[in-house]
Each structure stands twice: as C-alpha cells, then as structure tokens.
Amino acid sequence: MAVKETPVNLIGLTREEFENLMESWGERRFRARQIMVWLYHKRVWDFDAMTDLPKKLRAELKERAYIGRFKIIAKERSQIDGTVKYLFELEDGERIESVLMFDRDRVTLCLSTQVGCAMGCRFCQTGKIGLIRNLTAFEIVNQLLEVERDLGRPRAVTNLVFMGMGEPFANYDETVKAIKLLVSPEGVMFPARKITISTCGLVPQMRKFAAERLKCGLAISLNAPDDRRRSWLMPINKVYPIREVLDAAREWYANIKRLITIEYVLLKGVNDSIEDALKLKELVKGLPVKFNLIPFNPIEGSEFEPPEIDQIERFRAALAEGGYVASVRFSKGADISAACGQLRARY
C-alpha cells in the first residue's frame, strides 16, 4: 500500500530547497523560481491561477504541496496612533504577535522570532514566559505575508524590525534563512537596508552575522551603563558583558558600515540619571551609534516604572549633547498593550 506523503509547505523554502523539491518530483529546476514569483511577487495563493505552469504541475502542487497560513486570533487597532497588533495562531496552536506601526510615510512591522524567550530580562513580558520554541523561517516570513494579505496590499510594509517576541540570534539559522528569503530577488525583494535586527547581545552570533554581510541594520539592547546593573536586568550579560558586546558591535560596523542603534529601556530610578547618560556615552566612544530610548512599558506585576517625562527629556538631552542622535520611542499603541508579549499574555 502506498503511504500518503505529507504535503510540503512552500512558504519558507529557499530557492535551492525549492529547486531540489521540483527535481525530486521530476520537474525542471526553473519551475521553483517561477512558483516563487507567483507566491512572493504576485502574492497569488491559488495554484490554478499560476497560468504559466503546465496543468500537470498545477495538479501536482495541489496534491503534494500547500501554502502555509496562520489564523488571526486577535487584531487590535490603537485609537491613539493607529498601531495594529496581530495575534496569530501557528499550525501547532502556539501563538505569536506582530505589531504594525505607522509613522508618516513609514509602515513598520515588528516581527517575532521565537514563542517566548529564554533570556529572562527582568522588564520584559516575553522573558517571563521563558522559551517555548523557535519559529521556523516560514513562520517569520509569513508574519509579513499575513499582514499584507490582511491590508490587501503587497508591499504595504516599508520597514521590518526584528523586535517582537524572542531573541533573533538565539534562533540564528531560521532568522538568517528568513532574512535571506525576504531580501532575495525571487523572494519578497524587501530592501535589506529597511530591515533591523535587535539583539540582547549574543556575541558569537553577532560576529557570525557580520560575516553574512547582509546590509540590515543592527540594534543592541544595552539598557544599563555598567555590568552590575546590566547583569541584574539582563542575565545574559553574565555570559557576554558590555565590553564584549561592544567589541562585536565594532566588528559588525567594520564589515557593514552602518550606524548601530543602541536601545535603552528607561526605568525610573534604576538607569535614568544624568550620570548614567554620561557613562553610556563614555561606553560607546568611538563606535558610530544612535540612541533609541524606550520609556518602560509597564507589564503586569512589574517592579518598574517609566521615568517622568521631564527626566526622560533630560536624559535624552544629555546623550544628544556632543552630537549623538538620541530619540525617544514612546510605546506605540499604549491602549492596546502593544509592548512585546503583552497581547499574547492577555489571551
């Protein structure tokens, strides 16, 4: 008796994997690129509509392949700034979030790379969950595809940031595979310059990523001006202290030549003094950076608070003095709990 084979999900395959699949079906390798163009350029999800494919191949696709989808469990739009938060259900029932933000002509989608996160940062909702599992390249790329489907417009999203749930470099292989598919000419053709990866500072992966020579931006969550406080807030600092993280950042800069973003969550009375701002500047001396200050977004049962608005401004001004670009990123969609991991926690 013939064993029924499980259909293959076509989303998330690299061109090479796709070509091998075609070959294993006895098809020509170039069919892979043709189908990828239907999927990623034209966003056609119906095999019958792929009119330049032979009928036999279309029938075979229906039989042996499928186009992976998520279920939208919740979608909330902020009344304040239009931010839309999606809660998706994956094929195995796990749930992840993606957040869509609007800023003048920029439409930014914040992607998740893991269900939960193992890093356990004290101020982070996702960190409280712990790591449930890594996302696949399909699950990373498909967040963009689902959102653009929902918006009814391919290429509606202009910028991608890997700042949702999870630590992208703790899921290195699938994250890099997803980025390569996003930027490749037969894939989504998303400009690498419009993609930013945010990391808590996993040094070996930062080094490896520099060697990939992808022109994406790099953001480092520093969050404290010394190892004592950083280790308390972000336990990973005991493995990769600030010095090592900044050395890896220098290496990345030498390869990619793009300004690095230093992210800094402002916590009242913890890391928000003027002295801290000056220490922070001292730390990054010689490294081309800009600062992104994020006032703490309260999470349930948290011991922290965001600083008062004038303290935030004083901290920002202290950083900016001497020529640094320092901006404050107020939480988008404060009314829909849009900070990372918050919507998932509610459902």
Please identify every residue annotated as catalytic.
97, 340
Q: Does residue 179 interact with ligand SAH by CB under 6 A? A: no
CA distance 11 to 135: 13
Name which of 181 and 265 has its Cβ closer to ligand SAH.
265
Site string for ligand SAH, 324-343 (x = CB under 6 A): ---------------xx---
CA distances from 164 to 97, 251, 278 (A): 7, 25, 29
Residue pair 252/210 in contact by the 8 Å Cβ criterion: yes
- The three-state secondary structure class of 78 is coil
Residue 199 in the binding site for ligand SAH (CB under 6 A) = yes
β-sheet bridge partners, residue 266: 295
How far apart are CB 307 and ligand SF4 at their closest, in Å? 18
For ligand SAH, which residue of 11, 96, 160, 200 counts as binding (CB under 6 A)? 200
Task: Report the candidate in 94, 132, 129 with the shortest Cα–Cα distance to residue 300.
Answer: 129
Residue with tokens 């739009």: 77
**E strands, the chain, where?**
8-9, 65-66, 71-77, 84-89, 95-103, 106-110, 114-116, 131-134, 159-162, 195-199, 217-221, 260-266, 289-295, 326-328
User: Closest Cα partner for 299 from 338, 268, 333?
Assistant: 338
| Chain position whose Cβ is nearest to ligand SF4 | 127
**Chain residues 222-241 in contact with ligand SAH, contact rule CB under 6 A:** 223
Whole-angstrom distance, CA of residue 147 vs CA of residue 153? 9
The CA radius of gyration of the chain, in Å to the nearest whole number, is: 21
Q: What count of Cα atoms within 13 Å lies in the side-chain half-sphere of residue 75? A: 9
Give the one entry of ligand SAH, ligand SF4, none that residue 265 binds, where binding means its C-beta sits below a cut-off of 5 to 8 angstroms depending on kind. ligand SAH
Given ligand SAH, ligand SF4, none, residue 339, with its beta carbon under 5 to 8 Å by kind, binds ligand SAH
**What tokens appear for 62 in the block?**
């229906």
CB closer to ligand SF4, 68 vs 166: 166
Q: Does 198 bind ligand SAH (CB under 6 A)?
A: yes
Number of residues located near ligand SAH, criterion CB under 6 A:
17
Q: 25: number of CA atoms within 13 Å, CB side? A: 23
**Binding mask of the shown chain, residues 173 to 212, with x at each position contacting ligand SF4 by CB under 6 A:** ---------------------------x------------
What order do you get walking across the sheet with 106-110 strand by strand? Answer: 71-77, 84-89, 95-103, 106-110, 159-162, 195-199, 217-221, 260-266, 289-295, 326-328
Residue closer to ligand SAH, measured from CB, 214 or 340: 340
Which of 40, 138, 291, 296 is close enough to bind ligand SAH by CB under 6 A?
Answer: 296
By beta-carbon proximity to ligand SF4, the closer residue of 21 and 121 is 121
In the complex, what is the shortest distance from the CB of residue 131 to ligand SAH, in angstroms, rounded to a whole number? 11
Min dist. Cβ of residue 105 to ligand SAH (A): 23
- Candidates 126, 136, 143, 337; binder of ligand SF4 (CB under 6 A) is 126
Q: Rounded to the nearest whole angstrom, what is the least distance from the CB of residue 198 to ligand SAH in the complex?
A: 4
Q: Which two tokens stand for residue 144?
A: 């963009």
296 binds, among ligand SF4, ligand SAH, none (CB under 5 to 8 A by kind): ligand SAH
Binding at 241: pick from ligand SF4, ligand SAH, none (beta carbon under 5-8 Å per type): none
Q: Residues interacting with ligand SAH, by CB under 6 A?
A: 123-124, 163, 167, 198-200, 221, 223, 263, 265, 294, 296-297, 299, 339-340
